A and B are shown apart, each in its own frame.
Chain A
Amino acid sequence: MVTTLVASRVSPGRVGAVIGRNVGALRSGPSYWIVLLSGFFEPLLYLLSIGVGVGALVGDLTVDGRTMSYASFVAPAMLAVSAMSGALAETTYNFFFKLKYMKTFEAVLATPVRPAEVAVGELVWAIVRGSLYTVIFLVVMVAMGLTEPGWALAAFPATVLVGLAFGGLGMAVSTLMRGWQDFDLMGTGQFALFLFSGTFSPVQDYPVGVEVLIQLTPLYHAVELVRGLCMGVLGWGLLGHAVYLVVLAGAGVWFASRRLTRVLCD
């Protein structure tokens, strides 16, 4: 229902124009390139320091009866984190800035472009940015022998889905932000997800209450889906994770479009 609702109000040409604005920013000078590239390094540094560094102390890990090196356990999680942070950086900081301070969307909505087209365009761009990170990261993983090339190809669409979900969520959250102080709160939340979503240790090791709580949050599903594909362990569970992410993406875009309409077109 959400998709038909969105589809009926979205013209591909106008969505393309919204994306074109961000391409225009890349063409206009080096500043946006710097923002773009800086986002790539964090997950890579975690992979090297914790996955490889701490991994040497931890040794091998056995999860669900499968034994693997600690680095191959951590790497898919960092891949999912990469997709998440690429999409979130674009749909939170940049989106909020365009909404609240640069009044970019106000200018856009004076044209035939509709709020839903702004939301979809910004989301697609967030995926482009996130995919830039995940593709490089996958290449690094294959080079380090942390996944097979075939499974890396299979994992890529999953990272796109992770980007869609977090992009939708990020946009929805951005439309509710009051000011920069709220970004500190969001940063803390994002860091908590990063640490506890089965990224550095299996969630089965947590007390049951905590485990259930984590299973409600989005990064857990992203990590499980991406990890399953990177390791070539397929199961119906993966579909469940994917459905969770699809619903999150749709709800995020729908909510963000509505909020944009309320904030900018009242």
Chain B
Amino acid sequence: MADQPLIYARGLVKRFGEFTAVNGIDLDVAPGEAFGFLGPNGAGKSSTMRMIGCVSTPTAGELRILGMDAVHDGPRIRARLGVCPQLDNLDPDLTVRENLVTYARYFGLSRAESRRRADELLEFVQLGDRAGGKVEPLSGGMKRRLTIARAMVNDPDLVLLDEPTTGLDPQARHLLWERLFRLKQRGTTLVLTTHYMDEAEQLCDRLVVMDGGRIVAEGSPRSLIETYSTAEVVELRFPGMPEVGPRYAAALEGVGKRVDPLPDRVLVYVDDGDAALAEIQRRGLEPTSVLVRRSTLEDVFLHLTGRTLVD
């Protein structure tokens, strides 16, 4: 049983009336893994997370969490999960410390144990000095840290984080990432959704890209880049954009593996940026600006899920 996946899903479907949010996905998340769901809004990430969190019943398919059936063993599974929802639902009527103590009691911890955990976790998320204050005056980053502390109160085997750093400033994000990385080092399995590529690259061992309720790609950040993009990307701007874009795109054909004309610039996906620049020069093209950069998950993401705006 030791190598049994922590999350096992086959043909998982979630429908809301006519609308299919999750359309038959398979998942295997191993213990200790940091696993990410990447995808645009409406891709089905949050619906999947809610099913894994056993607060939403799958319409079809099989879902086993921690070796138990998600539909029948909901309370027993939830006892071993930590959940950090997308929107903070901390209790504004309670103090920072009381938020944690109260929450620990839902898991059946004794009052003394709940207090001990609360104090320990407040130190872990660096909120010890705010323990007696209310939640409302806390900054966005502090609230999110408190929510993560709350998710840790039952010493969970699996922590679910739905867009953990959305809306936070860079300092707050980095502090949070550092704390999540520590959790991972302790062996806690993390499952998170995000649409920040840097977050996925920082935190995830493995991730899936979702679009339209399906998994469209799966792998480590590195392998996804290798499979769906090239080592480097050359970004070129030309005078007269965007009208001249398609003409230049045609002229750049063959320089790299793929050319992607955007309204403001043309992207050329290449294995060797310098060689590509030499070729561009040889063809007599004269861009107004040139940027050679490493390919990122963002390139993978946009390639797989398209550039159409999803709201």
Contacts and interface: CB of A to CB of B under 8 A. Distances in A.
A110 B98 contact: no
A25 B99 CA distance: 9
Interface residues of A, number: 29
B102 to A, nearest CB: 5
Contact of A28 (B76, B78, B81, B94): B94
Interface stretch (A99-107, A157-165, A210-218): A99-107
Contacts of A106: 85, 89
A203 to B, nearest CB: 40
Interface stretch (B52-60, B200-208, B283-291): B52-60
Interface of B: 16, 53, 55-57, 75-76, 78-79, 81, 83, 85, 87, 89-95, 98, 101-103, 105-108, 134, 150, 154
- Which of B53, B55, B102 counts the most A-chain CB atoms under 10 A from its CB? B102
B229 to A, nearest CB: 36
B85 A111 contact: no
Overall SS of chain A's interface: helix
B94 A110 contact: no
Contacts of B95: 27-29
A110 B93 contact: no
Nearest to B101: A24
20 contacts: A13-B108, A14-B106, A14-B108, A16-B105, A21-B102, A24-B101, A28-B93, A28-B98, A28-B134, A102-B89, A102-B91, A104-B89, A106-B85, A110-B55, A110-B78, A110-B83, A111-B79, A112-B76, A112-B108, A266-B57
A111 B101 CA distance: 14
- Which of B76, B81, B108 counts the most A-chain CB atoms under 10 A from its CB? B108
A266 B16 contact: yes
Contacts of A113: 75, 106
A266 B76 contact: no
A25 B95 CA distance: 8
A221 to B, nearest CB: 33
Given A102-B91, A107-B91, A111-B78, 17 more contacts: A17-B106, A20-B105, A21-B94, A24-B98, A24-B101, A25-B93, A102-B93, A104-B89, A106-B85, A107-B89, A108-B106, A110-B55, A110-B81, A111-B107, A111-B154, A112-B106, A266-B16
A114 interface: yes
A109 B55 contact: yes
B94 A24 contact: yes
A247 B53 CA distance: 35
- Which of B57, B91, B106 counts the most A-chain CB atoms under 10 A from its CB? B106
A143 interface: no
A265 B50 CA distance: 9
A265 B56 contact: yes
Contact of A104 (B57, B81, B91, B101): B91
Contact of A266 (B56, B105, B106, B150): B56
Top-8 shortest CB links A-B: A103-B89, A111-B106, A17-B105, A25-B93, A112-B75, A110-B83, A107-B89, A112-B79
B163 to A, nearest CB: 15
Interface in A153-209: none
Contacts of B91: 21, 25, 102, 104, 107
A59 to B, nearest CB: 48
Interface in A6-30: 13-14, 16-18, 20-21, 24-25, 27-29
